[in-house]
């Protein structure tokens, strides 16, 4: 990976027209990228709400406005997208009023191989109008039962890999082995950080998943063997441009959701830098950004 572009350098070098040499706000800079010329970006950026797990929905919505971002992968954390139907309806109304669109729910867990428990998770996604459930470590024996509900609800399952600590799905390749031959709506959510820590080349994993790739969690690491080495996107070793190129090549239609797991009590500076870097990479590839 070449030297990381800091948000300050990125804003100074291309995305701004700052008066008197001062930097624009992050929101204004992102708006400039949104309006930039070029082909529409084949890579759609979103936010995993787990990034703001320590903050309420009100703050989550405010932060997404600051990021000039509408696409959300929502989780039942704090009050982001509660499993309770009544509370979920309140959350959906708040997101609709703010112009935020939910494209996935997760990570959602399936601890029971029982129809009622599994159906409740699909009803949760259906109420929200969500077509992708990011699933955390469903037991392989449970997959045929989950597949039955995938067919009934026409909702995709994207099984999330969790790295070498995960005894079931450490790598996206393990997910693909488990769903081989199953309904094509049974697929993968590639977490790039956990992927590389499992010793899997992330570009190879993207091509292997192909049409079964339904969601991606993006993050960056300074050391591919150290879970605790997460840094702002662009400051580590993750081949962000190559990842975006691979996604474009397979015609990936899902979202790349930032899952920023560090600085939990004050994540926004790093989140802003991460989106600035990713948007800068896409702009450098000649793409116009959309919200």
239 is in which domain, residue-wise? 27-288
Predicted confidence at residue 4, as pLDDT, reads 39
Tell me the whole-structure pTM to 2 decimals: 0.88
Give 174-195 pLDDT, tens digit per residue: 999 999 999 999 999 999 999 9
Q: Is residue 15 part of a domain?
A: no
Residue 149 sits in a domain whose CATH number is 3.20.20.150
Give 230-243 pLDDT, tens digit per residue: 999 999 999 999 99
3-state secondary structure of 2: coil
Q: Is residue 21 part of a domain?
A: no
Q: Is residue 5 part of a domain?
A: no
Residue 208 has pLDDT above 70, yes or no: yes
Q: Is residue 52 part of a domain?
A: yes
Quote the CA–CA distance of 61 and 79 in Å, as a whole number: 12
**CA-based R_g, the chain, Å:** 19
Predicted confidence at residue 184, as pLDDT, reads 98
Q: Is residue 10 part of a domain?
A: no
Predicted confidence at residue 36, as pLDDT, reads 52
How many domains, in total, are found in the chain?
Answer: 1
Quote the CA–CA distance of 50 and 173 in Å, as a whole number: 24
3-state secondary structure of 267: coil
């Amino acid at each position: 990976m070449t030297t990381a572009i800091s948000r300050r350098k990125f804003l100074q070098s291309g995305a701004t027209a700052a008066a008197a040499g001062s930097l624009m706000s992050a929101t204004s800079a992102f708006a400039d990228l949104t309006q930039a010329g070029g082909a529409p970006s084949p890579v759609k950026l979103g936010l995993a709400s787990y990034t703001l797990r320590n903050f309420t929905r009100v703050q989550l919505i405010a932060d997404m406005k600051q990021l000039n971002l509408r696409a959300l992968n929502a989780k039942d954390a704090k009050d982001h997208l509660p499993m309770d139907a009544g509370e979920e309806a309140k959350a959906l109304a708040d997101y609709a009023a703010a112009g935020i669109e939910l494209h996935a729910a997760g990570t959602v867990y399936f601890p029971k191989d029982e129809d009622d428990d599994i159906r409740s998770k699909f009803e949760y996604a259906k109420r929200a109008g969500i077509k992708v459930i990011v699933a955390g470590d469903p037991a392989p024996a449970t997959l045929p039962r989950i597949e039955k509900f995938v067919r009934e609800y026409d909702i995709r399952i994207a099984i999330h890999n969790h790295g070498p600590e995960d005894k079931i799905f450490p790598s996206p390749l393990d997910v693909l082995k488990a769903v081989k031959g199953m309904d094509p709506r049974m697929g993968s959510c590639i977490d790039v950080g956990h992927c590389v820590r499992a010793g899997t080349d992330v570009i190879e994993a993207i091509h292997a998943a192909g049409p079964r790739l339904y969601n991606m969690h993006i993050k960056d690491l300074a050391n591919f063997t150290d879970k605790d080495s997460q840094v702002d996107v662009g400051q580590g070793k993750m081949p962000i441009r190559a990842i975006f190129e691979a996604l474009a090549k397979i015609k990936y239609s899902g979202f790349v959701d930032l899952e920023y797991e560090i600085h939990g009590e004050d994540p926004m500076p790093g989140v802003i830098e991460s989106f600035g870097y990713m948007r800068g990479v896409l702009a450098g590839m000649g793409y116009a950004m959309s919200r």
